[in-house]
Amino acid sequence: MSIEQGLSFDHEFTLQELLTGVNVDKLLQALTHNLESSVRILNVKKQCLFEAQLNATESTGTVNKTALYGELEPIGFIEACATPDSLQSAAQLIQLILYSNSRYLMASDIHIKTQRDDFEELQRRHAALEISETKYKQLAESLDVRVKQQIKTIESAQLKLYESEKLASVGRLAAGVAHEINNPLTPIEMMVSNLSRVYLNADPKSFKENLNETTSVVSEEVYKLKEMVSHFSQFAKLPEPVLKEANIAEYCERFITQHQNGWPVVKFRVLTENDVKNINVKIDHLLINQCLINIINNAVQANPTKDTLQISMSLKCENSAEISMVLFNDGVKIDNKTQKHIFKMHYSSKKSAENMGLGLAIVKKILLDHNGDIICLPLDKGAAFKINLPISERLND
């Protein structure tokens, strides 16, 4: 096809091109037979393309030539010993063949051309798609890198925050401890100084009275100091939990039976849903007892004026991995700010010597050691703590 040589589908066809695919031998045979003469087909430059000799007796006479027309103009000639009229009709016959063949050639050339163009267009689009795909991949990779960098930044910021939080907490603890130590020291100092003044006055009777009084005050203050030290050692020496499998519902019931007389103002209530009856957890009984006692102590201390404090304990299974125990009391509400800091060491809303702000910090530490956790629930009335513990086993009914 001419299109293979880079020619347009509508280029000017030569006679030779237009005879492509035509059985020229048969054509010439028919022509020689009909014209009763040898026949030559010439191109536009009058060079012979095809030739056929008449086998039988060659007719003698003038050789005539007539043009073969393409679209408009001659593209070749036919030459034979024949009358102009018969040559003309032979030419018309050949032109019919040429016309039909040009139709076919143009159609096939334009077909190839459009197929090629379409294919090239497809390739172009494909290449464009590949480029955009590469771009997206690069983008995704760079995003990944950036996300990892961000995570690193956040992690290091968190570490810093944790460190500074720890320092702040140590600072608060130190300030609290200094204050608590200072409190008993003042009466001790006053009493002792008073005693030496009385001794100088040399009144044996009043000195003795003073001595007794001083002894009693000093002992009491020293006792407070000892108590405080014992609280601290308790926190410092908090043992690793020794975990034992326990049915959580049974554990709660037993706890209440054992401790319901521990606080005169407290009235207990247990709300346990059926589906939690067969759930086992791994706990250290003594440490979890300690947690519950601390939480109840906290509630009682926060409500010194209440005659009766309702405390309800409910068990719920919110997901398959954990059991939740909610301790609710109908006392004062815990404000938002306190909710955030309530588990921090030496954070206390109460200004009394007996409270070191360690109770709930101990609770938090024990539960974290159990792979559990505790949060303070935001409520409009009363206060509630939710303890989560991992379920170790769920017994079938």
Strand partners, 261: none
The residue from 24, 49, 93, 106 that contacts other proteins (CB under 8 A) is 106
Minimum distance from CB of 69 to other proteins (Å)?
Answer: 8
Could you say whether residue 9 binds other proteins (CB under 8 A)?
Answer: yes
Rounded to a whole number of angstroms, the minimum distance from the CB of residue 114 to other proteins is 4
Among 22, 110, 188, 270, binds other proteins (CB under 8 A): 110
Residues 277, 283, 289, 295, CA torsion sign: negative
Shortest Å, Cβ 94 to other proteins? 14
Per-residue binder mask for other proteins (CB under 8 A), 263-302, x = binder: ----------------------------------------
Q: Rule CB under 8 A: is residue 126 a binding residue for other proteins?
A: no
Cβ neighbours of residue 9 closer than 8 Å, sequence gap 6 or more: 3, 106, 109, 110, 113
Give dist(CA 339, CA 356) in Å, integer: 18
35 CB neighbour count, 10 Å cutoff:
21
Query: In the beta sheet, which residues pair with residue 387?
Result: 325, 374
115 vs 234, beta carbon nearer other proteins: 115
Contact between 125 and other proteins by CB under 8 A: the answer reads: no
Which amino acid is residue 163, in one-letter code?
E
State the nearest-atom distance from the C-beta of 37 to other proteins, in Å. Answer: 28
Please report the DSSP string for 53-86 in residue order. --SSPPP-S--EEEEEESSSSEEEEEEESS-HHH
Buried b (16+ CB within 10 A) or exposed e, 236-270: eeeeebebeebbbbebbeebeeeeeeebeebebee
> What is the separation of C-alpha 261 from the centre of its chain, rounded to a whole number of angstroms?
51
CA-CA distances (angstroms) from residue 224 to 126, 262, 293? 84, 22, 21
Query: Which residues does 38 contact at the CB level (< 8 Å), separation at least 6?
Result: 32, 51, 52, 53, 54, 58, 80, 81
* Residue 137 binds other proteins, judged by CB under 8 A: no
Among 117, 189, 220, 354, binds other proteins (CB under 8 A): 117
Among 53, 59, 63, 111, binds other proteins (CB under 8 A): 111
43 is an interface residue for other proteins by CB under 8 A: no
* Residue 113 binds other proteins, judged by CB under 8 A: yes
CB of 81 to other proteins, least distance (A): 29
Minimum distance from CB of 99 to other proteins (Å)?
6
Residues 40 and 48: their CA atoms lie apart, in Å, by 7
Task: Evaluate whether 46 touches 68 at the Cβ level (below 8 Å).
Answer: no
Q: Does 73 bind other proteins (CB under 8 A)?
A: yes
> With CB under 8 A as the contact rule, which of the stretches 105-113, 250-258, 271-279, 313-321 interacts with other proteins?
105-113
What residue type is 338 in one-letter code?
Answer: T
Among 72, 202, 236, 321, binds other proteins (CB under 8 A): 72
Q: How far apart are CA 108 and CA 10, in angstroms?
A: 11
**71: contact with other proteins by CB under 8 A:** yes
Residue closer to other proteins by CB (options 73, 380) is: 73
**In angstroms, what is the minimal distance from the CB of 24 to other proteins?**
22
Bridge partners of 323? Answer: 389
Q: Which stretch binds other proteins (CB under 8 A): 103-111, 133-141, 193-201, 351-359?
A: 103-111
Please choose, out of 82-90, 108-116, 344-352, 357-365, the segment that lies near other proteins by the rule CB under 8 A: 108-116
Instruction: Choose which of 8, 158, 196, 230 interacts with other proteins (CB under 8 A).
Output: 8
Q: Minimal distance in Å, beta carbon 7 to other proteins? A: 11
In the complex with other proteins, the residue whose CB is nearer, 99 or 235, is: 99
- For residue 26, the minimal CB distance to other proteins (Å) is 24
Compare residues 4 and 240 and give the one whose CB is closer to other proteins.
Answer: 4
By CB under 8 A, is residue 118 in contact with other proteins? yes
DSSP, collapsed to helix, strand or coil, labels residue 385 as: strand
End-to-end Cα spacing for the chain: 86
Enumerate binding residues for other proteins (CB under 8 A). Answer: 8-10, 12, 71-73, 99, 102-103, 106-107, 110-111, 113-115, 117-118
